[in-house]
Homo-oligomer: A and B are copies of this chain.
Amino acid sequence: MKFISSRDNPGFKRLRALLDDARMRRTERASIIDGEHLLQAALDADWPIRQLLLREDVLESAVVADVLQRLKNVDPELPVLVMAPALFNALSPVLTPTGMLAEIALPSVLAEDSGAGDVLALAGVQDAGNLGSLLRTAVAAGVTRVWLDAQTTQAWSPKALRAGMGAQFCLAIEEGCDLLPRLTGSSRPVLVTSLGPASVSLYALDLRQPNIWVFGAEGQGVPAVLQALAQHRVRIPMPGKIESLNVGAAAAVCLFEQVRQREVAA
């Protein structure tokens, strides 16, 4: 264990930058996760953890001891950094800091897309909380691969990781994707939600084969150039007086209709 107590420590400055700066996370291929739940989720997924950061006053806690034991089983040489409470609290991004942070590695080489599973493709989803809960929904629905375009916020920001509740560790996530060639060359049907008149009801589609689902930003929706590539423009029937759902709700409805059809067919 190493102890740091000064904001001028280079290790502290680096952690601060990983929390605040998306470019720094990309350059270093690293991010920070906060709290026991995300740490356990990372361990469950055999995710590479680079160092553990502890607030000095939680060293005796049973939860910390448990996590530390799991980590040491995986990597006996794992660096552990202990910080004075004031210093740690200046770092931790949530309102109720648990006293545990970890630096994780971002994925480097992803398993190649075999064309077999479902894909969630997102265009211009800018809210990190929305993105995290979209990823969580995707994992729950059995999706294994995610394509994020360059206008979508980073999946590995502390906020997106928090909202994802561990989803990021269960998905092959590609960022900065050019969706146009991927959707053009796809052997899987491309499905895009749309309110337009040329759309087909979600409940009239056969969704049992693997699909590529494309969702867009709140407001703008999916860009027209991508909509034009879709096999189906999908309309969610809405009996009520509001003709829109937020993107997270729309994706949940579509992906779980797919789950339902496969359950019924099984």
Q: Interface of A with B (CB < 8 Å)? A: 129, 133, 136-143, 163, 165-167, 170, 201-203, 236-246, 248-253, 256-257, 259-260, 262-264
Contacts and interface: CB of A to CB of B under 8 A. Distances in A.
A260 B170 contact: no
A105 to B, nearest CB: 20
Contacts of A133: 246, 248-249
A203 B264 contact: yes
Contact of A203 (B166, B251, B260): B260
A138 B243 CA distance: 12
Nearest to A256: B253
Given A249-B137, A249-B248, A256-B253, A263 B242 contact: no
A240 B142 contact: yes
B245 A252 contact: yes
Contacts of A166: 242
B136 A263 contact: no
A204 B142 CA distance: 20
Contact of A257 (B163, B238, B260): B260
A39 to B, nearest CB: 16
Nearest to A45: B241
